[in-house]
Amino acid sequence: TDTSHIRNFSIIAHIDHGKSTISDRILELTHTVEERDLESQMLDSMDIERERGITIKSNAVRVTYTADDGQDYDFNLIDTPGHVDFTYEVSRSLAACEGAVLVVDATQGVEAQTVSNANLAMNADLDIVPAINKIDLPSAHPEEVKREIEEELAIPAEDSVLVSGKTGEGIHDLLEAIVYLVSPPSGDADAPLKALILDSYFDEYRGIIATVRVFDGQIRPGARLRMMALGDTFLCDGVGVKRPLETPVDVLGVGEVGYVVTGLKEPGLVKTGDTITEDERPCAEACPGYHEAKPMVFTGLFPIDNKQYENLRDALEKLHVNDPSLTWEPETSVALGFGFRVGFLGLLHMEVVKERLEREFSLDLIATSPSVNYHVYCTDGTMLQITSPQDLPDVTRIDHIEEPYLKAKVIVPPDFMGAVMQLVVDHRGETKDMVYLSERSVEMHFDIPLAELILDFFDQLKSRTKGYASLDYEFSDYRTSDLVRLDILLAGEEVDALSFIVHRDKAYDMARGLCDKLKEIIPQQLFEVPIQGAIGNKIISRSTVRARRKDVLAKCYGGDISRKRKLLEKQKEGKKRMKSIGRVEVPQEAFLAVLKVD
Ligand code: GTP
């Protein structure tokens, strides 16, 4: 089989540099989607992605491009996420490609994730096509950006294409560049099937559908196939490509990207990174697969209605098919009942998962304060890994605690260097060094505890640098810190789900901030509710929610029944999102109040 007319490439970039917009233009120019059907961010198929204007999941589509040489080329294009939480999605996509289009915003230049994504593509030995986007904007400075690409990324910039995802200018040149710069796939069409699973999702009717890249051989419906790592076999129920709607084909040939209907109904049977082969004639070696993405941030997820516990477990299993980085284990809270301790790649990932669980599985959930994975060394010589403040042993049993540190990198204009250094110090970090990339930008490196970064570091970085800073980080090591558990008492009762692990030096400020914040969030009750922060037996802060004087009905003079009913309905609505903790009604957002303390 001839693969010379196939091009497989990912579109990679720093967040918001315009990958999804460029993908839309490509779909349009190749008539994959008729203009009248074109919605913006066509490949962001989840509601959350469209609403937030971000890509969370990679998405593979097939477009056919008639090039200037008169020949038709099949492009398999993978749009990838730009946010640092989802870097693993980018590496997964790159493993299926020969090339990458590296999009750089002509008004912003090279930013933190431009560097890390370009490195991923170079390490994967891909052909890189730089695309300098947003050239329609008056503030675009493409020549300077070209220089940055060359100097900071060591990518030859004479190949770069100037484009505007908005006006469509240059997109044709970009498609031509892809034809000439990206190598066609190679592989043996007659060898036993070897196909890498890039992604999968659960379909209620057809079972699990896997997105694959065929490296050798071919896949036809009806074939008996096998998952190499997990060992299960299945009868292929169909194959196809996304244009961007699912379009069945007779065969997925060597070098192609497409989907396979596995018919498998058990969520655990398909694993991203696994290799699909033939049952009768397996290939000798599996694809290298993926590094497991390790969760860094953990929260408790509890159904507001405890009857939804089993549904939550079921939902996590199904979501896991589509989001393999998710981990969970049962967690019990005195205040919130039965739930799960769930591990995420970062805060954005956590928000997205909670929202998907609520929307796609109709659950009502409470999330508790995010925590990292602490290593607690006990006086008896054992080490406990804990991800929940509740699991912290009694202080008398603790010898010392270690917490995860990150190596972080910020790219920022020189004017803001001082502000960033201050911010790093405020968050217990340490600036290591900095390098001038150009007159316009400095790259700063620092070490910082992950726990500090997940609270409000990013928002503050954005506001203190007027949005100019970009951030990237990776796990570094574990270091000893003086950490304590801050407990919160409502009306004298300790609420386990509100506890929080914090550095001792910050405990007082945090306790005060949290008590004040909770005072705003917790509505008035019929009695006074003291809110207290404590370390061990010692109360270190206090605020009070005053008692409510009148009940809602007092507002209706006399007997306006319908108005009365409306008010009661409204009150009920409000109650639904509340959780009774002892005698106190606590709204959902109180459990994440720690994220809102300034
Ligand atoms: P993530 O998927 O979240 O990483 O973002 P992205 O890189 O896909 O960026 P997206 O395509 O969502 O574009 C980000 C913003 O830039 C949107 O508001 C677009 O409308 C805008 N934008 C994209 N391309 C252009 C362009 O060529 N010119 C102008 N003026 N705006 C553009």
pLDDT in tens, 561-574: 666 666 666 555 55
Predicted model pTM: 0.80
CA of 359 to the centre of ligand 1 (A): 26
User: Residue range 423-433: average pLDDT?
Assistant: 93
Q: What pLDDT score was predicted for residue 564? A: 63
Q: What pLDDT score was predicted for residue 406? A: 94
Conformation bin of residue 552: beta by default, left when phi > 0, alpha when psi is -120 to 50: alpha
Instruction: Tell me which residue has its CA closest to atom 21 in ligand 1.
Output: 18
Omega cis (within 30) before 130: no
Q: What pLDDT score was predicted for residue 100? A: 96
Spatial contact of 523 and 570, defined as CB atoms under 8 Å apart? no
User: What is residue 371's DSSP assignment?
Assistant: B
> Which atom of ligand 1 is nearest to 52's Cα?
3
**pLDDT digits 0-9 by tens, 312-333:** 999 999 888 878 888 999 999 8
* Residue 64: how many other CB atoms lie within 10 Å: 13
Q: What pLDDT score was predicted for residue 273? A: 85
State which of 20, 78, 79, 89 you would mutate to test the pocket of ligand 1, scoring each by most atoms of that ligand within 8 A of its C-beta. 20
92 vs 573, more confident: 92
Q: What pLDDT score was predicted for residue 341? A: 95
Please report which confidence band the pLDDT of residue 422 belongs to, taking 50, 70 and 90 as the band edges: very high
Q: Which two tokens stand for residue 368?
A: 């508790």
Find, among 212, 256, 57, 22, the residue nearest to 129 by Cα.
22
State which of 16, 57, 173 you would mutate to test the pocket of ligand 1, scoring each by most atoms of that ligand within 8 A of its C-beta. 16
Q: What pLDDT score was predicted for residue 554? A: 54
**pLDDT digits 0-9 by tens, 220-275:** 999 999 999 888 899 999 999 998 888 999 999 999 999 999 999 887 888 888 89
User: Residue range 124-130: average pLDDT?
Assistant: 95
CA of 171 to the centre of ligand 1 (A): 14
Q: What pLDDT score was predicted for residue 457? A: 86
User: Residue range 383-406: average pLDDT?
Assistant: 93
Q: Which residues contact 109 (CB under 8 A, 6 or more apart)?
A: 141, 144, 145, 148, 438, 440, 441
456 vs 42, more confident: 456
User: Residue range 283-305: average pLDDT?
Assistant: 86
Instruction: Tell me which residue has its CA closest to atom 3 in ligand 1.
Output: 54
* Residue 416: how many other CB atoms lie within 10 Å: 19
CA of 449 to the centre of ligand 1 (A): 32
CA of 53 to the centre of ligand 1 (A): 9
- Measured distance CA(370)–CA(591) in Å, rounded: 10
Q: What pLDDT score was predicted for residue 231? A: 86
- Measured distance CA(543)–CA(513) in Å, rounded: 10
Of the CA atoms within 13 Å of residue 411, those in its CB half-sphere come to: 19
**β-pair partners for 194:** 216
Q: What pLDDT score was predicted for residue 558? A: 53
- Measured distance CA(297)–CA(278) in Å, rounded: 39
CA of 55 to the centre of ligand 1 (A): 11
> Which atom of ligand 1 is nearest to 55's Cα?
2
Find, among 153, 393, 119, 122, the residue nearest to 132 by Cα.
153
Q: Is the pLDDT of residue 196 over 80?
A: yes
Q: What pLDDT score was predicted for residue 54? A: 65
Q: Which two tokens stand for residue 407?
A: 């190596």
* DSSP class per residue in 441-501: -EEEEEEEEHHHIIIIIHHHHHHHTTT--EEEEEEEEEEEE-EEEEEEEETTEE-GGG-EE
Q: What is the ipTM of this complex?
A: 0.97
User: Residue range 590-597: average pLDDT?
Assistant: 80
Element (H or E) spanning 153, and its range? helix 142-153
- Measured distance CA(184)–CA(24) in Å, rounded: 23
Q: Which two tokens stand for residue 144?
A: 């300077």
Q: What pLDDT score was predicted for residue 445? A: 95
Q: Are strands 194-203 and 246-249 parallel, antiparallel or unpaired?
A: unpaired
Q: What pLDDT score was predicted for residue 39? A: 63
Element (H or E) spanning 73, and its range? strand 72-79
CA of 19 to the centre of ligand 1 (A): 6
* Residue 218: how many other CB atoms lie within 10 Å: 21
**β-pair partners for 212:** 197, 258
Please report which confidence band the pLDDT of residue 159 belongs to, taking 50, 70 and 90 as the band edges: confident
> Which atom of ligand 1 is nearest to 82's Cα?
4
Please report which confidence band the pLDDT of residue 381 belongs to, taking 50, 70 and 90 as the band edges: very high
Pocket of ligand 1 (CB under 6 A): 13, 15-21, 53-55, 81-82, 133-134, 136-137, 164-166
Q: Which residues contact 174 (CB under 8 A, 6 or more apart)?
A: 22, 26, 101, 129, 131, 161, 163
- Measured distance CA(207)–CA(236) in Å, rounded: 11
3-state secondary structure 228-264: CCCCCEEECCCEEEECCCEEEECCECCCCEEEEECCC
Specify burial of residue 547 (Cβ count, 10 A radius: 0-12, 13-18, 19+).
exposed
Please report which confidence band the pLDDT of residue 579 belongs to, taking 50, 70 and 90 as the band edges: confident
Q: What is the mean pLDDT of the chain?
A: 88
